[in-house]
Structure formats: structure tokens, C-alpha cells
Structure 1
Amino acid sequence: MTSRQQRNFPRQYARTRRFTLGAPRSFTVAPDGSRLVFLRSPSGTDPVNRLYVMDLDGDGPARERIAADPALLLGGSQEDLSPEERTRRERGREMAGGVVGYATDAAVELAAFALSGRLFVAELRAGTAREVAVSGPVVDPRPSPDGRLVAYVARGALRVVPVEGGDGADRAVAEPEGEDVAYGLAEHAAAESMHRSRGFWWSPESDRLLVARVDDGPVRRWWISDPAHPDREPRRVAYPVAGTENADVRLFLVGVDGAGRTEVVWDRERFPYLARVHWSSAGAPLLLVQARDQRTQHYLAVDAESGATRLVRAEEDGRWLELIPGAPAWAADGRLVRVSDEGGARVVVVGDRPLTDGALHIRGVLDVGDGDVLVSASAGEAATDPEIGAIHVYRVSGSGVERISEGPGVHTAVRGGPVTVLASAVPDRPGARVRVLRDGKRVAEVASYAETPVLSPRVALTVSGPRRVPCAVLLPRGYEEGDGPLPVLMDPYGGPHGQRVVAAHNPYLTSQWFADQGFAVVVADGRGTPGRSPDWEKAVAAGLAPVLDDQIEALRGLAERFPLDLGRVAIRGWSFGGWLAGFAVLRRPDVFHAAVVGAPVTDQRLYDTHWAERYFGGRPQDVPDAYRASSLVWDDGLVEAREPARPMMIIHGLMDDNVVVAHALRLSSALLAAGRPHEVLPLTGATHMPTQEAVMENLLRLQLDFLRRSLGLAGSAGPETSPGAGPDTSAGAGPDTSPGAA
């Protein structure tokens, strides 16, 4: 790699929004396999997504066409987002604009989406798109299964409008009773920690809806302000901080004509969390509800006439019960499809029969077919070295298990009838390849317009230490044996739901850029990270100490095989990784000599109920020692800060409403009181997920400058150059999930 390429990488990384722009995403396949619908922006630097259709039912090759272009539909004007839409995008870590989400009818002939708070529909066969006049601003529009109606949320009310529109046709079917009540939206804890982004669901017959009523009245209010603009009012948000009241969530059945409203009844006092809702033609509405401590959950079938619920299954776990994407659901024959931790493994169960065993660690349910279940899974505890970081797609049934994806990589899929869309991010090429398979044979490929990175990772996937901690090690390109040991940069996320050691290309781009500045970069996934086994994930129950122990174990084990200078070790991270970086230099300054602490949760009492109470075993008032042991600051200042004091760079977005900037400010205050060296980089106007191009670019450069200064490397190499860097000769794939990413 040339020094010019190295200088250009931060700019390219920022301009392409971590190489996500131009890549196809959000696939939907028609049930007859005739159409594929997806989103993609027109280039690797254009942030505005269009809606596309690929026709698959002709005798000739597949044909791709634009179904909706925001530039045409908005007449060239910029998007104007409502506060509710901004919040939805923040919870989903959305980095693009234009059509960022859509929903279709059952036949995938009609798509609905919102632009600038206005409702649009696209007739996918005809290739036309038009606006439907409604009372906005529109949030989360979804067509009825029969394609005649669209339901959406506006100002806390759930409304329904015929696709053909007409005067007086737009009507509210559920209206808020007060300013703290909203219908059809997910509350903060659901969207942020349960990964349930929806708040309403259509009946298969298109005549009713299940609607969540969220009352934020009991929830503590926080104020998010932009100090750079003192003329602007702070934003008032309901944040369910650990140990305090959650939103009151109820569920109602409502008719599309607005007449008749029936409450769905379950023991909400014992099971306040509405974690999952599934309603299909295969059975009654299906709910998954959890106790507040998340150690008990019930699968409930809803009587759609009376609202009464029937217990289908109860589950318990002494640590916590993990929520799995795509589950639960009904099989075509009416049996319950679930993912459960049984016998030390995470398995797919249909009815009472497990369809997988400990050979696979199930990551999610992708589709439930007539006689099979499509899942994503990793090899789990039995993984051999070639399987490190791999995630595959499998078809499981009573007849056995069949792997659909091939070769090392991170694979996922969407299915409709005979057509499967397989997206594969692999180690030796950038981006993700998207293939369209009909009955297992490739019939098309969806083009990606994402830019090719100016660098390619030189990554070694391995395991380290007695626990075989999965690791990725990156050295400067051009480094040769005998060049001597390198200063080390640990680059983890390191915690729940954040696997970083993956068999793909793009996740290591920023790590390789730092390596090319003269570092040996180590990414380690210790206990608490996903993809290995339930026991591995749940080893952090009631405390996060194992997370740091495994980073140290991995580092020391790797030093026996790689040129690591253990006298110069830094660590960087964002969000959970930011907490881990701060935790490392405060608790183990004998190992870590500097830290970049990005958007950290410094006081665990200030994070949300569902997340914090799961991992610390209860509420702060009940188990204060568990919270204190995993916090960086407490009421009396720093927690267990040891000597010598190590420098920190603390970075935080001032508009962050997930990990609020109070975390960083309290840490800085405590460090100042203790006389410890640190610097604070406030990001004006940034949330938990900075998207401003200049901010994203210069954050990398400023971190590099801090690391060089802190480790005494400022004079060892010129700015953004690595003496050992050679020409860029490799290639590779997959989304960038570096700790610099939110």
C-alpha cells in the first residue's frame, strides 16, 4: 500500500459510510419466486437509497429496474424527518437516507414506504410509484396482506388508509389518550435492547391489527441538548434507566374500520416485556413475553376474538433467556418453532422435537417453510480453526441438516417459495456477494455499487489461551519476520451481541489501517460475545469481569506466536468496547498503557433496564455490588483505579440518546479529581452513531495521533505511514463492524 492510499482511507471510509453505500440490502422475495425487492443507493458515495425490483419469472435473464426513486418522488428536495422517524433510524443504526425501509403485502405486489413524513406506495409489477395523501408525518407504513390498505403511525395514532386514497378515507383506528401515550411504536427498551422495532401487526385476513399501546408516563425523563446551539430547546426523551419504571405496554386488537377494540390479556405485572409478536395464517397470534429479570418467559397464543391468551410453553433459565431473531413462529402444521438453550447448546425446536444439536450454535431463524426451517448458525464449541468466525445458512427438517452456503464467510439468506437470496461476505474479497438461487441453482446476482476499499486486510484468524479465545491478528502489510516486535493495539467490542472475529473482509478495514501505521492489531472475542455456546455468552451473568480477563489471556497467548511488544499496548473501542477500553486501563494499567474510550457506558446504573438488569442480575438497588464492580465511576469517583495512571482519549456525541454524554462527563470529572491524564473529544451534533463525513474521517486520524503520543511513537514514523507497508495485493468482504462503528 502506498502512503497516499493510507492517507485516503479515512476519507473513503467516511465518504462511503463504512463502505455500506451502494451495497444491496433489505431483500424480500415474492412467495411465487417471481420478484425480488431490495434497496440500494446508486453509487458507493450516494447516501440516498432507491427501491428496486428484480423480475425472475421470465424465460430470459433476470431484469432489474427501479421501483421508486426519492429524487423524483420528492422533486429534488431534501428529506425532512420527524422526531419519531429520527428516533427509529437511530435505534436501527441507519446511516443512509431515501427509502431506508419498506413493507410489502403478502403477494409482494405492493410496497409502502415513507419519505419526508409522506406516504408512498409502489406497484411492483407495474413499476409505478405514487404518493397517498394522508395525515402525517408518516412513520412505519405497512400494507395489509391483501394490498388494499396501508397502516401507519402519525403523532402517536395508528391510522389506516386505502391504497387508492380518497377524501375522508384516512382514519385513525387507535388514538393516544394523552401526550405520553403512543400506538403502534416500539418503546425504547424494545427497540434498543430487545431488537423489536415494530409496534403493530396485520391479521392474515387484513381485517384487524394487533397494536401496542405504549404509555411512557412512568418512565424517567431525560433532556438531550446540543450545547453548540444554545438557542435550540433540549429534546425531552423517556429513558428507562436501570432500576426505574419501564413504559407500560399493552396490546389491543382493533378493526380496520376503527370500531371494536379488544385488549389482549396476559399477566403483565409478572411479564411486562412484550419481546416478540408473530401473526401468520399458520395459527393464532403468538406472543413471547418476559419477566423483568428475563429468567422466565411465556409463549402465548391469543384468541383473536376475546383477547384471552393460552400458555403454549414456559421457559426458565437461572441466568437469562436470550431473544433470537426470527423466533418464535408457527410451522405450517401449527407446531411452535423456537430456539432454545438445551443441553448446553442453542438448538432449533419444532413442537417438542429438536432439529439440531450441539454441532451447531443457532444464530437466528431466517424462514419457516412448509417442511423445513432455514437458519443461520456457527459451529459453536466444536469449531475447528478453519471455521473461526464463519456463519453459515442451513436448511433443517425432520430429515436432517443441509448446509446451503459454501466456503469460509459470513452468510445469510432470505427465501420466498423456490427462490433463496444468499448474501455472502468472505475473507478474500470486499463487500458481500448476493446470489439468487432457484431450487438451489444460481439464476442471477444482485450488483453492488459499493466502492472497493483502497486497502485490504492482512488478517490471521486463530485462537489463543487455555479458553481458545477467538482472535484476529493484523500486521502491517510488508512486515517481515525479523523486523522486530510491534506496539500493540487491542481493537475489541468484546461483549454481548457484538461478534468482531468474523470470516469476512470489511470488518477489519479500520484495524488494518491502524496496523499499517506500525501496530500489531488484535481483535479478540472473549466470554460474553456471541457465536460459540450459551455458556460462553452467559459467563458474564452478574458481572463483566471475564471480558477483561479474556482480552489479557488472548494478548499473552498471541505474544508467544506473533511479534507483539507487551511493553507498549493500547486499546480502543466504542460503546461496549469503549467501556472495555476504559475498564482495561483503570483496572489493569500493568497490561494496558493507553486507551481510546468511545461513547462508553461508564456508570452501569445509567443504562437501560432490559440490557443492564439482564447482565448484572437485577436492579441496582438490589445488587449494587454487581453494578459497581463493572462501572468506571461511582458516586465517590473512580472505581478501583490502579496505578500507574494511563492516558485516555474520551470521545462522545453530545446528542447521544442511547449512551448519554453524562457517561463521558462523569468519567472526565472523576479523572480530573484524581489528577489523571486524559483528553475529551466532544462531537457536536453527533448521536451514538456519528454519520457526519468530516467527523468520521478525522476521528480515525485523531485517534492515531493520540495513540502515537501516548505510546511514545510520535517520532517513529511520519504521519499515516508505515515503513513496512508494501503494495496492496489482496482483496476481501462483509460490513464494517469496527468499534469505530456504532
Structure 2
Amino acid sequence: MKNIKNSLYLFLLLSLPVLGQQKITLEEIWGGAFRTQGMYSLEAMKNTNQYTVLNGGWGSGQIDLYDFATLEKVTTIISSKDFSELDGIDSYTFSPDEKKVLIAVNSEQIFRHSFVADYFIYDIASKKLVRLSDNKVQEPTFSADNSKIAYGYNNNLYVYDMATGATKQITTDGVKNAVINGITDWVYEEEFAFVRAYDWNAAGDKIAYIRFDESEVPEFSMDIYQGGLYPQQYSFKYPKAGENNSKVSLHIYDVKNNTTQKIAFTNIDAYYIPRIKWTNDEQTLSVQLINRHQNDLNLVFVNGNSGKVTPVLHETDKAYVDITDNLTFLNDNSFIWTSEKDGFNHIYHYDKSGKLIRQVTKGDWEVTAYYGFDKKTGNIFYQSVENGSVNRDVYRIALTGKNKTRLTQKTGTNNATFSPNFEYFINSFSSAQEPTSYALLNAKNGKEVKEIANNNALKDRLVNYNLPTKEFTTIKTDKGHELNAWMIKPANFDSSKKYPLFMYQYSGPGSQEVANKWNSYNDYWFLMLAQQGYIVACVDGRGTGFKGADFKKVTYKELGKYEVEDQIDAAKVLGRYDYVDASRIGIFGWSFGGFMSSNCILKGNDVFKMAIAVAPVTNWRLYDSVYTERYMQTPQENASGYDDNSPISHVGKLEGSYLLIHGTADDNVHVQNTMLMVEALIQANKQFDWAIYPDKNHGIYGGATRLQLFTKMTNFIKEKL
């Protein structure tokens, strides 16, 4: 697949400032003229009150150490300029004692999260650099005792001994497209959002890992053209809805004895193993197990010596249970857990046996991030939408559920990186009006200690464009549903005129597009369209997130029914505004949003004049098992849920202008979706426009691709709307 570093080089070249113009251009947007400055690869240290940032441009790169209290640079830990072996630094991780650093270079992306790279071990004191392996490997991780590094290579696990330089292969049955040890398969990576499926215990003498037997998973292949005389085929295991998934099993490897035991989960449905994590007890492993429907979750403890399994927590839901990374063990092995069981996502504290001690946070609002627990003060730090579902704030609360304090005062989107002693945090803030800035805040009272960085130069430069503002509102549909929305009007807006309306949405379960944060690349495109006389609006319908479980899970078993209904109903409400031309309403979406925009122009053919669908799912039967079945069950159980809301089932209703776009190397939403949609449209004798991007994945980028793509979509809007 793509080489991460080459893509970064191209991005940096395209990111050179472009002289400001009164009108936004696509060349500026995709040339990086509006890119914000940030703190790249910001990491808080664990053992000292310091943090690191990866600084430097292309062909270089250095890890700089800073003091949290003063924000002063302490030292440069390593600079790639000092080592011929380092062609820049892609990423880095510290050993538990923070005396060594694992450095990745020459990274090559595999799928969305996974990649292989050349790794080097850097000893900070001696300033010596040692190559981990002659091969490009995956997910190397230090042992807790700082003596070894485990990693994945060719579907097997290996352990490198730093003292001797010797490498031991600990699994031997790994085979491409058959068996994977310690690294997730495609669907786990994409839908359970992790790649490293192994974990060291606190003593450094055990490695727990998941084994994936994907031999019975159907194989998907796609042609890769690359300009050659003959295309090459790329094949990988991809379980579509209702098909066989990998058979997963849990194993614990004893480093000292060189033995492996397989763990048996008797009388517990262990169809998926979406998380494993060693507790503070060095011989106790926590394992999350969930059934195929993903509505019955078990947290169990496994004894690393005997293999004994002890049930700890059991959670069920009438729809589905979300998997998170919020499980945190305290010193006594009691643990923090987040759950939607009271209707909103909140923090809970359980003792080490799984008995509930208390619900820590409560209210008709959602906890959106868990930052950590300060054992000295007994405080938990978290992010939530308590200040409105489109905003994010950082809070402190005692483990007892008392003394809650809001630590961020600016309304918008706040994210925190805490110092190891929880005395300070670096707050990144942005809103629809304010570009991203970074400041050091006091964790006791939230007072700003010092600004670290801002994007005032970008804000000043944008003044010349006289850009309209993004207005946040709530739309109430005729059915009585209140939906978050934003609208961008032309800067010279005249309420006595009629404007065409261009709607954007994503609408996937638990997602959010109506958020009070700084502009994305898409936002600049919308601002450009507003400059050219369009009103642009976005509505988060039912099924989206951060407004409670009932609002999110109403779409269960019927993806595309209520979400489409809400977009059509919202368009009708907006169409009644005096300044909106109801005969000129269009809609656009990508991925799930493409599925939505396709359905909207078909089911809402009396409302929408045009639609653009990029990389859309056109029938959920064609998408992966974990995601689709979480929300729909299997096609065998819920055939009507799949087919009634499939755009392919409604092609005969097409009356407006429809642009369909897809990349041929999309490993996520396969181009098969578009091909079957195209065939259905042809057989229905419907005229439409479409564009295929050779060898482009789900993101459809690389070189001039995004510029050409957005030029095509812009021209389509101008012609059809």
C-alpha cells in the first residue's frame, strides 16, 4: 500500500503558504494554505513531570523534551540528523523506565491503522542506536521490566532480548490469509480499532495474545493497476455481513519457561475478543468477550499461571454495547469503567471482584473521554458534553462523585493532555470562530498558566476573505424531532433573496458533524461554495451521537430508515425558509454519508434536486460483519432491514442529478458497492454521472487527486444546483 513517509513529504510540499486571495480556491484548500500549526506527537512522560513533541521537517525530525511547569525545553532527546540510519522519525515510544526509545522510520501503511516500519532502539544515556530487526515489523512493545521487546512479523510473534541481542520466535503457525498471532485481522482493526493484539504483564514474564484463524473467512480481491501492462491482484480476508469471521482464541506465553497455554472460556460467549489488558496484579489478565450480536459483554479475569477464568462484570443491551479503551485499574485493582446503561455514557467505579462501588458521573449528558485518575487527590479527569452536545469541556470530579469542577472556560472543543502528576494539563482549544490554540492550564482550578501556541496568523490572514460564520441552531422537524444543525450563509447574505441549499452529512451511528470546532478541509470547501452564492447546511439526525443512547440506537436493525427520514424532513423545514429556494436543494456525503445521500435523492426525489455520493455503501450485505451486524444483526436474521433501506432497491425513483464516486482500491467500502449500484441504475434506464479513481483507497487522495475530485464535485454542483 502507500508509503506513509512519501505521503507526508507530498503533504508538506503542498502545505507551503499560498498568497491570500479574496476568494477561496480549491488550489488553496488542497495546497495546505489554511493548515493549522499544532504540537505533533505530543506525549506526556510517565515518570517525570515533562512531555515530548516531535519537531522538525522533512528529512529530519527530533524528539524534544519540555517541562510541564515552565513549558521550557529541557533537551533534545534525539535528532535524526545525528544518525545516518534515521531518515527522519515517523513515530516513537518510550520504554517503561523512559531510558530507551523505540523509533519508527520508513513506515509503510497496510490498512487504516496498521503499518510496518524499520525500528531502532535508542539508549538515551549512551546515545547508542540499535536496529530491532533486519525486517520491517509491526507493533513492537517494550516489556514492563525494560529488558525485552515483542513484535509481530509475517503473522507471528517474536521477542528481542536487549541485553543479548538475541531474537526468539514464540509462535510458528502464522500464515498469510490463514493464521495471525498477536496482530488483528482486517475487520478487528477497522471496527474494534486496534492492531496490537498482545500485551505484556507487569512483571515482564508473560505475554497474552489473541490468535486469529481466518482460514474460513471469505477472501476479497481487488485489481491494482499501477500503470503496468497487467494488473496485479491484492487479496485479503474480509468477512461480509453474515459470513464467517476469524475464529479467535486467547493464549498466554510464559517467557521464562518458553511455554504457551490456551485459555478456555467455558459457558461464556467468546465470539469476539475485542480487548485484552493486564491488570495491576501482574498475574491477572482482564479480557473483554462479546457475542456476535455485540449486545452481551463479559469482562473476565484470567489467572496468568493457572489459566483460571473468573467472571467480573456482565453488561447487556437491547441493541448493542460499545467497546472502549476506558477500562483503568487503580492500585487496589478496583477499576474505572464507562457505560451507557443509564441511558447516557458515564463513569463507574467497581471493586476488583466486579461489585459496583458507585456511579461517579450522572446526568442527561455524555462523558466523551476519560483522561485518568490522580491517586494522590482521588480525582478523576474527563471530557464531556455537559455544556451542550456540540461542545467539549474538561472536568475534574472526585472518585466519590463529589466536587465536580469545570476546568475549561472557553466554549468550543477542549482536549487535554495531563502531566504525570496531574497538576497541569495542556489544553487544545478550537471553535467554529477560533482556530486551534494550545495553553497550559492548572488542573486544580483550570486557570491558564501560559499560552503555548496559537494560529492567530492564520486567523488574521482569513480576514481578507471576509468569510461567513458557521451558525449553530436546532431544527425541529414536522414529526417533532429536534436535531442539531449548522448553516453557512454567503457573507453578503440578503434575506430577501432565494438561495440554493447544499446539505452535507455523515449520519453514521454515534457520529457527529455538527460540532463547535475549527474548520476542516471540507469546511473551507463549504465556505468557498458560500462565497459563490450557496447556503450550506449540516444536520445531525437520529442515530448520531452524544445525545443519549435512545437517540443513537433508534436506528438499530434499520440503518438508513430514520436517518434518511430526518434528512428529508430537515430539508423540508429548511426549504420553507424565506431565503431558501426549495426547488434547488442538494445533498452530499462520503462513506456512510454517501449511502445516505444516495437514499435521500431516491426516497426524497421530491425534495432533493441533486446528490453526490462518495465511496458509498449501497447495500449493507456488502459491508463487513462486525460493523454491520452490530447495528443490523445478520442478513439471515434481518433481510428486510438490509434490503428495504438499500439504495439499490430504490434506483427506479431517481429523478434528480446523481454523481457517484469511488476508488478501485478501497479495502473498506469495496468498489463492488458502486458497480452493483451502477448496474441497477442502468437496468432501470436512469441517467447519472460517475467517476472511478484507479488504485485509490477509501480516502481517495494522493498527488492531485483531491484537487481533481473536488473540482469535479464543484462543477457538478454549479451545473446541477
Structure 2 length as normaliser, TM-score?
A: 0.86
1:563 to 572, 579, 586: 579
**Paired residue for 1:683?**
693
Would you say the 8 A contact 1:102–1:113 is kept in 2?
yes
Deviation at 1:315, TM superposition (A): 0.8
Contact persistence 2:280–2:333 (CA under 8 A): no
Q: Write out per-residue CA displacement over residues 248-268 of structure 1, whole angstroms, 9 at most, x where no aligned residue.
A: 222211133570112233259
- Note if contact 1:422-1:436 (Cα within 8 Å) is conserved in structure 2: yes
The 5 Å alignment of 1:427-442 reads: 427-433=432-438, 435=440, 437=442, 442=448
Distance 1:671-1:99 versus aligned 2 partners, 3 A rule: farther
Q: Is the 8 A contact 1:132 1:165 kept in 2?
A: no
Cα shift at 1:701: 1.4
State the match for 1:391 in structure 2: 392
- SS of the residue aligned with 1:174? coil
Secondary structure of residue in 2 paired with 1:5: coil
Residue 452 to residue 12, structure 1, CA distance change in 2 (3 Å): farther
- Which amino acid counterpart does residue 342 of structure 1 have in structure 2? K
Report what 2:169 is aligned to.
Answer: 172
1:56 aligns with 2:57: no
Deviations 1:317-359 (A, max 9, x none): 11111223x2223233322321112332221111121111124
Match of 1:310 in 2: 310
**1:307 Cα offset (Å):** 2.1
Give the residue type in structure 2 aligned to 1:271.
A
Letter in 1 for 2:490: P
1:405 paired with 2:408, answer yes
- Asked if the contact 1:271–1:297 (Cα under 8 Å) also holds between the matched residues in 2, the reply is no
Answer whether contact 2:199 2:208 (CA < 8 A) is retained. Answer: yes
Q: Which amino acid aligns with 1:475?
A: K
Q: Percent identity?
A: 21
Task: Note the 1:63-462 alignment, pairs <5 A.
Answer: 63=73, 67-68=77-78, 99-116=89-106, 117-123=117-123, 128=127, 130-163=129-162, 166=165, 169-179=166-176, 180-227=178-225, 229=228, 231-256=230-255, 259-267=258-266, 270-281=269-280, 284-324=284-324, 326-351=325-350, 352=356, 353-370=358-375, 371-379=378-386, 387-396=388-397, 397-398=399-400, 399-415=402-418, 416-418=420-422, 419-433=424-438, 435=440, 437=442, 442=448, 446-447=452-453, 452=458, 458-462=469-473
CA shift at 1:230, angstroms?
5.0
Long gaps (5+) in structure 2: 1-17, 107-116, 351-355
Amino acid across the alignment from 1:207 = D
Which of 595, 598, 608 is the aligned partner of 2:611? 595
Confirm or deny: 8 A CA contact 1:272 1:292 kept in the other structure. yes
Structure 2 vs 1, CA of residues 165 and 690 (structure 1 numbering), >3 Å: closer, same or farther? farther
Which range moved further: 700-709 or 392-401?
Answer: 392-401
Aligned-pair CA distance for 1:101: 4.0
Provide the rounded CA distance (Å) in 1 between the counterparts of 2:164 and 2:455: 36
Cα distance in 2 for residues equivalent to 1:679 and 1:505: 33
Task: Give the equivalent residue in structure 1 for 2:112.
Answer: none
> Cα–Cα, structure 1 residues 641 and 431, in superposed 2: closer, same or farther, change >3 Å?
same
Q: Which runs of 5+ in 1 are unaligned?
A: 78-97, 634-638, 712-742
Which residue is 2:42 aligned to?
27
Name the CA shift for 1:14/1:317 in 2 (closer, same or farther; >3 Å).
Answer: same
Matched residues in 1 for 2:60 and 2:529: separation? 31
What is the aligned residue count? 667
Which residue of the partner structure matches residue 534 of structure 2? Answer: 519
CA distance in 2, matches of 1:502, 1:567: 28
Instruction: Call closer, same or farther: CA 1:271–1:430 in 2, change over 3 Å.
Output: same
Q: From 658, 661, 671, give the equivalent of 2:681.
A: 671
Corresponding residue SS for 2:613: strand
The verdict on how the C-alpha distance between 1:604 and 1:112 changes in structure 2, with shifts beyond 3 A counting, is: same
RMSD value, Cα: 2.9
* Contact kept? 1:159, 1:172, Cα under 8 Å: yes
Q: Does the Cα contact within 8 Å between 1:569 and 1:592 map onto a contact in 2? A: yes
> Aligned partners of 2:686, 2:55: CA distance in 1, in Å?
47
Tell me which residue corresponds to 1:731.
Answer: none
Structure 2 CA distance for partners of 1:573 and 1:434, relative to 1, 3 Å: farther
Confirm or deny: 8 A CA contact 2:654 2:686 kept in the other structure: no
* 2:15 alignment counterpart: none
Partner of 1:463, secondary structure, is strand
Q: 1:438 to 1:66 in 2, by over 3 A?
A: farther
**2:29 is equivalent to residue 13 of structure 1:** yes
Compared CA separation, residues 272 and 643, structure 1 to 2 (3 A) = closer
Q: Which amino acid aligns with 2:273?
A: L
Counterpart contact for 1:67–1:122, Cα < 8 Å: no
1:129 Cα deviation (Å)?
7.0
Q: Which moved more, 1:532-541 or 1:504-513?
A: 504-513
Q: Deviations over 1:127-173 (max 9, x none)?
A: 9573424142211122223333222111112112234563xx12222
1:459-489 Cα offsets, whole Å, 9 max, x none, are 001110132200010112232333x121011
Contact preservation (8 Å) 1:199, 1:211 = yes
Q: Contact 2:572–2:607 (CA<8 Å) still a contact in 1?
A: no
Give CA-to-partner distance per residue, 1:494-532, whole Å, 9 cap, x none. Answer: 122421111112133332222222211111111111111
Cα deviation, residue 229, structure 1:
3.9
Contact 2:251 2:260 (C-alpha < 8 Å) held by counterparts: yes
Q: Judging changes above 3 Å, is the alpha-carbon distance between structure 1 residues 162 and 6 closer, same or farther for their aligned structure 2 residues?
A: farther
- Rounded to whole Å, the distance in 1 between the matches of 2:265 and 2:290 is 11
The Cα of 1:452 is off from its aligned counterpart by 3.4
Question: What does the per-residue CA deviation read over 1:595-643, in whole Å, with 9 as the maximum and x for residues that have no partner?
Answer: 1110000111011111111111x1111211110022112xxxxx13454
Counterparts of residues 28-43 of structure 1 (less than 5 Å): 28-39=43-54, 42=57
1:549 Cα shift?
1.5
Distance verdict in 2 for CA 1:644–1:604, change over 3 Å:
closer
Q: Does 2:484 match 1:477?
A: no
CA–CA distance in structure 1, aligned partners of residues 40 and 267 of structure 2: 37
The secondary structure found in structure 1 opposite 2:704 is: helix
Moved more, 584-593 or 367-376: 367-376
Cα displacement (A) at 1:373? 2.7
- CA distance in structure 2 between the aligned counterparts of 1:552 and 1:182, rounded to whole angstroms: 45
Deviation at 1:555, TM superposition (A): 2.7
State the AA in 1 paired with 2:491: R
Q: CA deviation at 1:393?
A: 1.9
**Residue identity matched to 1:172:** Q
What are the superposed Cα offsets for residues 57-109 of structure 1, whole Å, 9 maximum, x if unpaired?
78x651066545567656686xxxxxxxxxxxxxxxxxxxx645433223444
Match of 1:609 in 2: 625
**CA offsets per residue over residues 402-440 of structure 1, 9 Å max, x none?**
222222112222332234232222222223535465665
Q: Is the 8 A contact 1:346 1:533 kept in 2?
A: yes
Kept in 2, the 8 Å contact 1:172–1:258? The answer is no
- In structure 1, what is the Cα distance between the partners aligned to 2:318 and 2:570? 29
Asked if 2 retains the 8 angstrom alpha-carbon contact of 1:39 and 1:49, the reply is: no
Query: 1:348 touches 1:355 (CA, 8 Å); kept in 2?
Result: yes
Q: Which amino acid aligns with 2:218?
A: R
Partners of 1:690 and 1:448 in 2: CA distance: 30
Q: Sort the Cα spacing of 1:405 and 1:438 in 2 relative to 1 into closer, same or farther, 3 A.
A: closer
Partner of 1:694: 704
